Chain A
Amino acid sequence: MESAPSTPSPADAAEDLAAAAAVRDAFVARLAMPRGYSLVTGSGNAALAYGIALGNSTWRFGTVAFVLALAVQVAALASATRMFRARNGASVTGVSGFGGPRSTRVVVGLFIVVLVPCIVGATWSMVAGFPVLSALVALCALPATAVADRWWMARYLDRR
Chain B
Amino acid sequence: MTELNPIIHAPLRLRLCAILSAVEAAEFHTLRDSLQVADSVLSKHASALAEAGYLTTRKETIDGRRTTWIGLTRAGRRAVQEHMRALEELIGTAAPPARPGAR
Contact = CB atoms under 8 A, between A and B. Distances in A.
B17, B63, B90, B93 — which one has the most chain A CB atoms within 10 A of its CB?
Answer: B90
Contact of B63 (A9, A13, A86, A90): A86
Interface residues of A, number: 35
A17 B87 CA distance: 7
Contacts, number: 98
A158 interface: no
Contacts of A11: 94
Contacts of B94: 9-11
A96 interface: yes
B18 A82 contact: no
Most chain B CB neighbours (cut-off 10 Å) among A13, A82, A98: A13
Q: Is the interface of B mostly helix, strand, loop or mixed?
A: helix
A82 B62 contact: yes
A24 B18 contact: yes
20 contacts: A2-B7, A5-B4, A7-B4, A8-B87, A8-B90, A10-B95, A13-B91, A16-B87, A20-B18, A20-B84, A23-B19, A23-B34, A27-B22, A85-B62, A90-B24, A90-B30, A97-B21, A98-B21, A98-B23, A98-B24
